[in-house]
Structure 1
Amino acid sequence: MEYVGRVPAPPLDQFIDDVYCLTGVPRHRRMNVPPMPSAHLFINLGGPARLWDSDPSVPPEVFTDGWFMGVWTRRFLFEYPARVRLVGVHFKPWGMSPFVDMPAIELRDRWVPVDAVWRRSVDRIRNQLGDIASAGETLRAVEAELRSRLAEAPLHGLDLVRHTSGRLETSHGAVPVGALADAAGVSGNHLATQFKSHVGVTPKRVARIYRFARLILSVDALRPVDWSELAQTAGYFDQAHFSREFKDFTGHTPMEYLALRRRFPAERGFPPDSGPMPAD
């Protein structure tokens, strides 16, 4: 499967980490995806994709066109079609807010069809691209759609969330939430309210996800792994808490996860996103 991705041009780069295109036959059809510090848009130009929530009470979904996903606080399972033609957008945790006319909390731990948020946008993109558009043409069309959807006026509270989220990102979730609120000159409750509106979760939850992402992305599966040292470096000072959160977020113990990483190394040419793992 071929991956082509890039950081979009300004002003989109203020809100989006990357836009990418996947095409071809996947090496693994089903992927187990842990929480990561981002929200997502997927536009499916190929066969149906399937998603399962790790919460068994939530019914699975099949998407033929595309879907939005807010920030996830638990893992989910994703199944590629037999042949993939998919465009993805990794929004910063708060970055989806100025593109959709709904509170981010309504997208937390949910997948929502694109056309339920953006009316008839997938049909328009499909008509532009046809069946033989290159990855570059596909990315340009999606970036044009994103620019047309970007809110013209600044959203209330978004600058506050952007600034404090940036501190959480650079510190990998290590800055205490109380210190963030004090530095911004607001109460903890006000900060939490704005995060729920623009991110969908509290700043404390965002900090937890950044901390976990730092740990996962620091694992070098080609070398012996000292889990205690990695956990402490990432900010886990309670080993029991680390073990529980790791199992909750990945579905595996640390040693099981490491064995999978060694059994299924990342495909060459893909970005260094070591969180999702094959589930088959």
Structure 2
Amino acid sequence: MEYVGQVPAPPLDRFIDDMYCLTGVPRYRRMNVPPMPSAHLFVNLGEPVRVWDSDPSVPPALFTDGWFMGVWTRRFLFEYPTRVRLVGVHFKPWGMSPFVDMPATELRDRWVPVDAVWQRSLDRIRNQVGDITSATETLRVLEEELRSRLAEAFSGGLGLVQHTGGRLAASHGAVSVGALADAAGVSGTHLATQFKSHVGVTPKRVARIYRFARLILSVDALRPVDWSQLAQTAGYFDQAHFGREFKDFTGHTPTEYLALRRRFPAERGFPPDSGPMPLV
């Protein structure tokens, strides 16, 4: 399967980490995806895609078109079709806010069809893409749609979240919420309220996800792994807490996860995102 990704031009890069096209036959059909510091937009141009919540009480969904996903605080399961043609957007945790007119809490740990958020836009995107085979041209069409959807004016709350969220990203979640609030000149309660409004979760939860992402992306499966050292570097100073959170976020113990990474290495040419793993 071919992956082509790019960072959009300003001002979209303030809100989006990258956009990408996936095409071809997947090496692994079912993927187990842990929480990562991003929200998502998927536009499906191929066969239907199936998504499961790790919460067994939530029914699975089958998407033939496209869907938004806010920040996830637990893992979810993703099944590719036999042949993939998918366009995706990785928003920064707060990045979806200026593109959608709905509370971020309504997108947290949820998938929502694109047409429920952007009415009658999906057919236009699909018609514009049509039979285009160039990934670069396909991404240009989506980038133009995103640019047209970007709100002209942002609330002051989004600016606060963008600034403090950037500090969390740069520190991999190591800055305390109290320090963020003090530096911004606001109360911790006000900061939490603005994060819930624009991200869907509190800054403390975002910090946890950044911390976990730093840990999981630092694993080199080709070498011996000192989990205690990795955990401490990432900011986990309680080994029992680290073990519980790792199992909760991945569905595996660290030893089990490392064995899977070695058994199912990442596809060549894919980005260095070692979080998702084949579901076995």
2:132–2:138 contact (8 Å) kept in structure 1: no
- Tell me the TM-score normalised to structure 1 length: 0.99
Which residue of structure 2 lines up, in the alignment, with residue 131 of structure 1?
131
SS at match of 2:72: coil
Q: What is the distance in 2 between the residues matched to 1:76 and 1:251?
A: 10
SS at match of 1:32: strand
1:164 and 2:164 are equivalent in the alignment: yes
Which residue of structure 2 lines up, in the alignment, with residue 104 of structure 1?
104
Cα-to-partner distance string for 1:232-277 (whole Å, 9 max, x where unaligned)? 0000000000000000000000000000000111111100000000
Q: What is the distance in 1 between the residues matched to 2:221 and 2:234?
A: 17
Q: What is the distance in 2 between the residues matched to 1:227 and 1:133?
A: 43
Which residue of structure 2 lines up, in the alignment, with residue 59 of structure 1?
59
- The amino acid across from 2:96 in the alignment is M
Which residue of structure 2 lines up, in the alignment, with residue 148 of structure 1?
148
Which residue of structure 2 lines up, in the alignment, with residue 48 of structure 1?
48
How many pairs were matched up?
280
Q: What is the distance in 2 between the residues matched to 1:173 and 1:18?
A: 20
Shift of 1:7: 0.3
Q: What is the distance in 2 between the residues matched to 1:97 and 1:125?
A: 20
Which residue of structure 2 lines up, in the alignment, with residue 204 of structure 1?
204
1:39–1:69 contact (8 Å) kept in structure 2: yes
Which residue of structure 2 lines up, in the alignment, with residue 222 of structure 1?
222
SS at match of 2:156: coil
Which residue of structure 2 lines up, in the alignment, with residue 114 of structure 1?
114
Q: Which structure 1 residue ranges, 4+ long, deviate > 4 Å from structure 2?
A: none
Q: What is the distance in 2 between the residues matched to 1:154 and 1:101?
A: 12
Cα-to-partner distance string for 1:170-193 (whole Å, 9 max, x where unaligned)? 111111101110111101110000
SS at match of 2:57: coil
1:98–1:155 contact (8 Å) kept in structure 2: no
Q: What is the distance in 2 between the residues matched to 1:106 and 1:97?
A: 11
Q: What is the distance in 2 between the residues matched to 1:23 and 1:217?
A: 24
SS at match of 1:68: strand
Q: Which runs of 5+ in 2 are unaligned?
A: none
Which residue of structure 2 lines up, in the alignment, with residue 264 of structure 1?
264
1:19 and 2:31 are equivalent in the alignment: no
Q: What is the distance in 2 between the residues matched to 1:33 and 1:168?
A: 22
Q: What is the distance in 2 between the residues matched to 1:193 and 1:231?
A: 29
Cα-to-partner distance string for 1:130-188 (whole Å, 9 max, x where unaligned)? 13431111100000000010000122301100110011111111111011101111011
SS at match of 2:32: strand
SS at match of 1:152: coil
2:37–2:206 contact (8 Å) kept in structure 1: yes
Which residue of structure 2 lines up, in the alignment, with residue 94 of structure 1?
94
2:32–2:276 contact (8 Å) kept in structure 1: yes
Cα-to-partner distance string for 1:65-118 (whole Å, 9 max, x where unaligned)? 010000000000000111100000000000000000011111000000000001
- The amino acid across from 1:47 in the alignment is E
SS at match of 1:139: helix
Which residue of structure 2 lines up, in the alignment, with residue 39 of structure 1?
39
1:75 and 2:75 are equivalent in the alignment: yes
Q: Which runs of 5+ in 1 are unaligned?
A: none
Paired-residue identity, % = 88
- Tell me the TM-score normalised to structure 2 length: 0.99
SS at match of 2:229: helix
- The amino acid across from 1:173 in the alignment is G
- The amino acid across from 2:154 in the alignment is P
Q: What is the distance in 2 between the residues matched to 1:144 and 1:155?
A: 23
Shift of 1:4: 0.4
